[in-house]
Structure 1
Amino acid sequence: MHILNLLPQGPLPYLDVDAIQRYIHRLVSTTSHPDTFIVWEASDTYTAGRRTKPADIPDPTVAVIRMDRGGSVTYHGPGQLVIYPIIKINPPADAVKFVRATESAMIRALRTIGVETSAIAGRSGVWVKRRGDIDRKLCAIGIKFSRDTTMHGMAFNVFTDLAKFMRVIPCGLADAGVTSLAQIGEKENLPCARYTLPQAAALLLPALAEAYAQFIPPARKDGALTPLREEKYLARIEEEREKAAHLPKIGIPRLPSAQKTEQRQNTGEQTS
């Protein structure tokens, strides 16, 4: 497995990395590029998956980018580790099995640093369940298969500003909340309260690579996590942005100012 580590670039516009993802996905799907983890941090963005309902976005001023992943609406932003596994798998594609493997790998990795998490039947992601509190999602997961190759992935809250989630109904679950490693660490007096994004990536990536080995043909299995030079991929952003087909926005009324913001996001321009 190769790693394209974009964390040193700081928070990046969502659609810029989406363009890189789609470029790598096209290559991996034809086996002309190695299976790759894209590891990055987003600037403030709200994205809506295929299961998003209008009621999941009660604030009409929130600019939302609709994406072709599973799940509902969520927030991406600074302090959140985003991992896209781009993997050519043995057919047939089994999205449920892949998501369960992702959850189990992350749960095992988190247990090694003293953080107890779990999966919840019928609700994808990695959850924190504590007596006397609502269930809180630590990591959202939204995977898509195309040409027997995975794309999109997981958004893991390390020291994310959790208040940003409150402008939407995170993952469309009104009876649940969100949490972060920092919040868990502070409550339970654990070292993860001070984790950085690179530390979180170093914790999770080996566990994910091990879990995904079952989906990869033996001839392509490689236990090493090998870095890729990010400059090559960053240079393709403009080219890929022009090629990318912009998906339709979710059909929710917006104020003119929000519409203008969303148009800028969908052309890849940075917003203030």
Structure 2
Amino acid sequence: MELVDLGAGRRLVPYEEAWALQREIHGEVADGSRPDTVLLLEHESVYTAGKRTAPWDRPVDGTPVVDVDRGGRITWHGPGQLVAYPLVRLREPVDVVAYVRALESAVMTVCSRLGLATARVEGRSGVWVLGDESRADGTPPRRDRKVAAIGVRVARGVTMHGVALNCDPDLGAFGRIVPCGIDDADVTSLAAELGRDVTVTEALPMLGEELVAAVGPLARVEEIIG
């Protein structure tokens, strides 16, 4: 599996540029002319809407949104968020749920390595920091908080889209939308939870390593046609 760093921490990639590159590599992986590939990058600020996005999820101020063909609803990408797009040919029979769980496991391991305990939430994709039922200092309990969003598509047996891990973004960007269509939970970041700077540069090698470990067993092994 090939890891391709598109300059995360050094360059912000326009969404349309990365989307075009995804489609190109997806075709090559599907045709057997390229090995499974994971793109690692940091986007320019953009809202993207999956196929299940409702009108009321969108920005109230009319901010432009890019409609995409992944699952899920609306989310934000931008500076301080590490994005991974695995383009992987899955073993048959294709099990999309198992693939999503593998992505979650990879991110949860990265968070653990950085010192943050995370969990899955029943019925919701992504990686979460669980809320508090009560707090010793008397402050109001916190709700569940999503630290990483996941949205995928599988076409011709090959995955597209992927994972967005909030390292140290401006979380205010999520306040203009209903992130992932969920209005009874919040969005957080590694930096906010750990109380220190956590850059995309720090998280990138860990995420690449853990994605290879988690997704690799689900990949279909084939000879590359050259």
Give the structure-1-normalised TM-score: 0.76
Give the equivalent residue in structure 2 for 1:97. 98
Give the structure with the larger helix fraction.
1
Contact 1:31–1:88 at 8 Å: present in 2 too? no
Displacement of 1:217 in angstroms is 3.0
Give the equivalent residue in structure 2 for 1:201. 204
Determine if the alignment matches structure 1 residue 72 to structure 2 residue 73: yes
Give the equivalent residue in structure 1 for 2:35. 34
Give the equivalent residue in structure 2 for 1:61. 62
Contact 1:7–1:198 at 8 Å: present in 2 too? no
Determine if the alignment matches structure 1 residue 140 to structure 2 residue 149: yes
Contact 1:92–1:148 at 8 Å: present in 2 too? no
The within-5 A match list for 1:214-225 is 214-218=217-221
Structure 1: gaps of 5 or more residues: 187-192, 221-272
Displacement of 1:102 in angstroms is 1.1
Displacement of 1:92 in angstroms is 2.3
Structure-1 separation of matches of 2:197 and 2:56 = 35
Displacement of 1:218 in angstroms is 4.4
Structure-2 separation of matches of 1:151 and 1:58 = 25
Match of 1:166, SS state, is helix
Give the structure-2-normalised TM-score: 0.90
Give the equivalent residue in structure 1 for 2:135. none
Contact 2:85–2:160 at 8 Å: present in 1 too? yes
Match of 2:114, SS state, is coil
1:154 to 163, 169, 178: 163
One-letter identity of the residue aligned with 1:33: R
Match of 1:68, SS state, is coil
Deviations 1:20-72 (A, max 9, x none): 11100000011101111101111110000011011112515121111000110
% same residue: 42
Deviations 1:88-128 (A, max 9, x none): 11122221111011112221232122110001111000001
One-letter identity of the residue aligned with 1:156: L
Report the count of equivalent residues. Answer: 214
Match of 2:154, SS state, is strand
Give the equivalent residue in structure 2 for 1:2. 2
Q: 1:58 to 1:2 in 2, by over 3 A?
A: closer
Deviation larger for 163-172 or 103-112: 103-112
Match of 1:174, SS state, is coil
